[in-house]
């Protein structure tokens, strides 16, 4: 894989920011494999947007898992952006991270890297806050993604009490103290309003000892009630990297990457 730590100026943020990009390479190297068979369609290779959690940044997936090796075996590009503690939102008292992630960044990547822009080649996944971000992208822009995966995700902000996690007054800073009911951040509401046939494939994974398991149970129930064919599993585990390291490998096996 070609690994790039990329520094850019984001107009939507009004400042510089960083992201990590992994690109398939024909010469995979000793102990690696799959890159020389990387599928390319149209003007680029398939891409997975891989989103970080509340306490992390764009380097965390590489530091806690072997995502480069896993992606190499699948011949897929991986884009890991950085959004701070924004919950992938345009913050009420901060920066426009949702606009950056959903609008500016894909356009910038299309101009800069050999990444496919076709829906069938575009995927998104994330953990915890990033699981929320992955499903937020999939439910607000189903026409852009073939599949989305939430790993231990904060999938129901409406049901989540005490949103002011740790320090920083998150609810006030991000949402101006307003509840997300009926907004683009209300994932369960978006799911219930969606046409199941229009949605990308959805994958949900959460540990049965995870503090967020009840939110995930509720999302699974909402999907079943709506008739959304979501692949879900609740298995032993907690909000930890050993759980997510297994999860991301399973997600890569599940993604419908075209041969």
- Does residue 259 sit within a domain? no
pLDDT tier at 28, thresholds 50, 70, 90: low
Q: How many domains does the chain have?
A: 1
- Does residue 209 sit within a domain? yes
- Does residue 246 sit within a domain? yes
Tell me the CA distances in angstroms from 102 to 93, 109, 142, 143, 215, one per residue in order.
19, 12, 12, 12, 24
- Does residue 224 sit within a domain? yes
Residue in 144, 141, 135 with CA at minimum distance from that of residue 110: 144
Q: What is the pLDDT of residue 167?
A: 44
**Average pLDDT value for residue range 132-150:** 98
* Mean per-residue pLDDT of the chain: 92
- Does residue 160 sit within a domain? yes
Q: Is the pLDDT of residue 166 over 80?
A: no
- Does residue 45 sit within a domain? yes
Q: What is the pLDDT of residue 171?
A: 83
Is 122 or 259 the better-scoring residue by pLDDT?
122
Q: What is the pLDDT of residue 170?
A: 83
Q: What is the pLDDT of residue 145?
A: 98
Enter the pTM of the model: 0.94
Strand pairing report for 122-127 and 47-51 = parallel
Determine the structural domain holding residue 8 and report its residue range. 2-254
Q: Is the pLDDT of residue 164 over 50?
A: no
Q: What is the pLDDT of residue 38?
A: 55
CATH number of the domain encompassing residue 32: 3.40.50.1820
pLDDT tier at 230, thresholds 50, 70, 90: very high
Q: Is the pLDDT of residue 10 over 90?
A: yes
Residue in 24, 153, 174 with CA at minimum distance from that of residue 94: 174
Q: Is the pLDDT of residue 37 over 90?
A: no
- Does residue 39 sit within a domain? yes
47-51 sheet: strands from edge to edge: 2-10, 15-23, 77-81, 47-51, 122-127, 147-151, 201-207, 231-235
pLDDT tier at 52, thresholds 50, 70, 90: very high
- Does residue 24 sit within a domain? yes
pLDDT in tens, 196-209: 999 999 999 999 99
Percent of the chain scoring above 70 in pLDDT: 90
């Amino acid at each position: 894989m070609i690994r790039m730590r990329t520094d850019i100026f984001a107009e939507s943020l009004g400042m510089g920011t960083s992201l990590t990009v992994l690109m398939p390479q024909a010469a995979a190297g000793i102990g690696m494999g799959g890159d020389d068979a990387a599928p390319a369609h149209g003007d680029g290779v398939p891409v997975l947007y891989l989103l970080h959690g509340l306490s992390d940044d764009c380097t965390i997936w590489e530091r806690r898992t072997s995502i480069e090796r896993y992606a190499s075996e699948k011949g897929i590009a991986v884009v890991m952006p950085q959004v701070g503690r924004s919950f992938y939102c345009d913050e009420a008292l901060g920066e426009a991270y949702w606009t950056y992630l959903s609008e500016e960044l894909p356009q910038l990547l299309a101009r800069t890297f050999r990444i496919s822009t076709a829906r069938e080649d575009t995927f998104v996944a994330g953990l915890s806050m990033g699981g929320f971000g992955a499903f937020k992208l999939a439910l607000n822009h189903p026409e852009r993604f073939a599949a989305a995966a939430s790993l231990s995700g904060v999938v129901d902000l409406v049901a989540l009490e005490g949103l002011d996690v740790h320090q920083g007054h998150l609810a006030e800073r991000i949402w101006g103290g307003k509840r997300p009911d009926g907004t683009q951040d209300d994932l369960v509401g978006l799911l219930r309003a969606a046409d199941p046939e229009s949605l990308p494939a959805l994958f949900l994974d959460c540990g049965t000892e995870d503090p967020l398991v009840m939110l995930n149970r509720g999302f699974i129930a909402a999907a079943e009630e709506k008739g959304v064919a979501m692949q879900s599993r609740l298995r032993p585990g907690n909000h930890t990297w050993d759980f997510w390291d297994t999860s991301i490998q399973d997600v890569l096996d599940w993604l419908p990457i075209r041969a």
